[in-house]
């Protein structure tokens, strides 16, 4: 027979799972707000529990959220990497538990501070700090934050001003205010509706503007299974496919996905890059190619996850991925045993430098367009991208993300990353191109809205035009400093008041 504690744990686990599932539904950003209100209600009813018991409830809630949201990692480890099923499941469970620690720490505010009219602000502040730390400690893993789900919610228009963490702040605050509507309901409804209206009005302000003429683009989606990436015969077939597709039609910009040439650059077929450079010169097409680079290191040569840019009659451009995926692209100290169980070649890359310049897209008789490149996982780190754009000596007019999500099969991982790309466009006020292996290949406007996409798991090419933009949003200039300062200030004030009373 279930005890009261067991029953509460099951309910909170279910609410966490429901919160993750809501993110995949239309208007998920709206749906998550009342679900969070129920979570706060349940946790507030448990404040009489001991500190350990209460912390455990927050942990169970977070575990339900991340197990549902990150289960696709099992596919990469077991189905693709060949890891033992039990070890794969344990790895996903441990990662979810680690992520849940941050959720639990944030919800502890409900118990720690005396209930008052500022409780919602304190909860929102602690959640922002928690999410920020989750994105930095141990190189960070901010995937499945509340912010990217707000692209279909009421608070996304604040992203160009204060970033995704500001969206998170408002989601948590609003969900708490809904819970408090039993007291002063009219006042709270008016404040909540006025806040949403003000945020929506803020979204009407444009911080960037069109730059030059639209550029023609071709995004080639190869749809090659991940198991073929390290098959010698299949590697040749993939290279032949992409070279053939590149030459079918010229465009201002032609992009193939991350590691579309899944072979070290120095071992590619002789003369391949020179051949494509000649094609670029004659067709006046700029090419962006995903491949495996090599750089010297203390141990000899080390691989990099690289994008090579070829422009007409210009020196090749090179971008090496900066923010690497733990275990997939770099091995944390003491975890080489884990990588041996995870049978994936090329799993210890070198990092690129943070200050790499943008890719210049050359156009005949027109000003060049500069594109900030990110490779796969880097699209998760909005503050890093904003900082790069702000610090670049050359203006950035376009975002490009090259990715390969074949690792994760038919899961929600592609739609999750698409929402992240949409948030990045919204934060920076810049259009974006997503070139992927299996999907979701897409062109996004400066407001993050989808212009065109390709169906997942199809071999196709997206041919479109995209309008470059110029200028910088307040978030690009300020980064997370304003929202982190607000959150820290609220928490400091909360601790001071708690000590006084």
Give the E-state strand segments of 224-357 in sequence order: 253-255, 261-264, 286-297, 300-310, 317-320
Axis crossing angle, helix 481-500 with helix 119-134, rounded to the nearest 10 = 130
pLDDT digits (tens, 9 = 90+) for 112-166: 776 777 888 999 999 999 999 999 998 889 999 999 989 889 999 999 999 999 9
Query: Is residue 337 over pLDDT 70?
Result: no
Q: For the chain, give the number of residues.
A: 501
CATH of 210-472, one of 3.40.1360.10, 1.10.10.60, 3.60.110.10, 3.30.360.10: 3.60.110.10
Question: Which of the two residues, 1 and 93, has the higher pLDDT score?
Answer: 93
Query: Is residue 375 over pLDDT 90?
Result: yes
Give the E-state strand segments of 311-459 in sequence order: 317-320, 359-363, 366-375, 398-403, 432-436, 442-444, 450-453
Residue-wise DSSP of 67-80? HHHSTTHHIIIIII
pLDDT at 461: 97
Q: Which two structure tokens, joined as six digits, stand for 73? A: 């990692």
In angstroms, rounded to a whole number, what is the distance separating the alpha carbons of residues 90 and 375? Answer: 28
Q: What is the mean pLDDT of the chain?
A: 89
- Residue 360: name the closest of 419, 315, 303 by CA: 315
Tokens 């809630």 correspond to 61
Backbone phi and psi for residue 100, each to the nearest 5 degrees, phi listed first: -65, -25
Tell me what percent of the residues of the chain surpass a pLDDT of 70: 92
Catalytic residues, by residue number, are 258, 321, 376
pLDDT band at 80 (very low <50, low <70, confident <90, very high): confident
Is the pTM here over 0.85, yes or no? Answer: yes
- Residues forming a β-bridge with 444: 432, 450
pLDDT band at 346 (very low <50, low <70, confident <90, very high): low
pLDDT digits (tens, 9 = 90+) for 406-443: 888 888 999 999 999 999 999 999 999 999 999 899 99
Q: Which two structure tokens, joined as six digits, stand for 39? A: 């979570």
Query: What residue spans define the domains of the chain?
Result: 4-206+480-500, 210-472
Q: Which two structure tokens, joined as six digits, stand for 366? A: 């027109």
Residue 215 contacts residue 370 (beta carbons within 8 Å): no
Q: What distances in angstroms separate CA 293 from CA 281, 312, 357, 364, one per listed residue?
A: 23, 22, 17, 30
Torsion angle (degrees, nearest 10) of CA 151, 156, 162, 167 = -80
pLDDT digits (tens, 9 = 90+) for 160-204: 999 999 999 999 999 999 998 888 888 889 999 999 999 999 888
Query: Is residue 354 over pLDDT 90?
Result: no
Give the E-state strand segments of 200-331 in sequence order: 209-210, 215-221, 253-255, 261-264, 286-297, 300-310, 317-320
Tell me what percent of the residues of the chain surpass a pLDDT of 90: 63
């Amino acid at each position: 027979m279930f005890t009261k504690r067991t029953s509460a744990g099951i309910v909170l686990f279910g609410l966490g799972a429901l919160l993750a599932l809501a993110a995949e539904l239309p208007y998920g950003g709206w749906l998550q707000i009342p679900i969070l209100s129920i979570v706060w209600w349940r946790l507030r009813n448990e404040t009489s529990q001991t500190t350990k018991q209460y912390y455990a409830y927050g942990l169970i809630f977070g575990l339900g959220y991340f197990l549902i949201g990150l289960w696709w990692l099992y596919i990469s480890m077991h189905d693709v990497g060949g890891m033992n099923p039990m070890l794969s499941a344990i790895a996903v469970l441990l990662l979810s538990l680690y992520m849940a620690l941050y959720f639990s720490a944030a919800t502890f505010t409900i118990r720690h501070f005396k209930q008052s009219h500022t409780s919602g602000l304190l909860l929102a502040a602690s959640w922002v700090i928690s999410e920020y730390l989750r994105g930095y400690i141990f190189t960070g893993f901010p995937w499945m934050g509340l912010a990217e789900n707000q692209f279909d919610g009421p608070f996304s228009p604040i992203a160009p001003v204060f970033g995704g963490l500001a969206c998170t702040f408002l989601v948590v605050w609003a969900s708490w205010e809904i819970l408090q509507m039993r007291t002063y309901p009219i006042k709270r409804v008016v404040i909540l509706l006025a806040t949403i209206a003000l945020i929506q009005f803020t979204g009407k302000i444009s911080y960037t503007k069109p730059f030059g003429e639209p550029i023609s683009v071709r995004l080639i989606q190869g749809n090659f299974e991940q198991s073929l990436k390290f098959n010698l015969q299949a590697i040749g077939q993939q290279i032949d496919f992409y070279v053939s597709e590149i030459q079918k039609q010229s465009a201002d910009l032609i992009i193939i996905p991350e590691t579309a040439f899944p072979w070290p650059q120095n071992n590619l077929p002789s003369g391949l890059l020179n051949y494509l450079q000649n094609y670029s010169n004659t067709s006046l097409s700029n090419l962006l190619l995903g491949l495996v680079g090599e750089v010297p290191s203390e141990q000899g040569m080390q691989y990099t996850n690289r994008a090579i840019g070829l422009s007409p009659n210009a020196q090749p451009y090179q971008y090496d991925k900066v923010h690497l995926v733990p275990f997939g692209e770099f091995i944390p100290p003491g975890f080489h045993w884990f990588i041996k169980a995870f049978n994936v070649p090329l799993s210890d890359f070198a990092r690129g430098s943070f200050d790499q310049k943008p890719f210049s897209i050359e156009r005949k008789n027109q000003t060049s367009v500069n594109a900030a490149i990110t490779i796969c996982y880097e699209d998760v780190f909005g503050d890093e991208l904003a900082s790069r754009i702000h610090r670049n000596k050359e203006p950035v007019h376009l975002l490009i993300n090259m990715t390969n999500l074949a690792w994760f099969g038919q899961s929600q991982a592609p739609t999750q990353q698409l929402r992240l790309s949409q948030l990045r466009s919204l934060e920076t006020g810049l259009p974006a191109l997503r070139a992927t292996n299996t999907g979701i290949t897409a062109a996004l406007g400066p407001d993050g809205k989808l212009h065109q996409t390709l169906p997942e798991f199809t071999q196709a090419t997206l041919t479109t035009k995209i309008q470059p933009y110029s200028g910088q949003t307040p978030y690009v200039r300020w980064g997370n400093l304003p929202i982190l300062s607000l959150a820290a200030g609220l928490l400091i004030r909360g601790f001071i008041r708690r000590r006084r009373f």
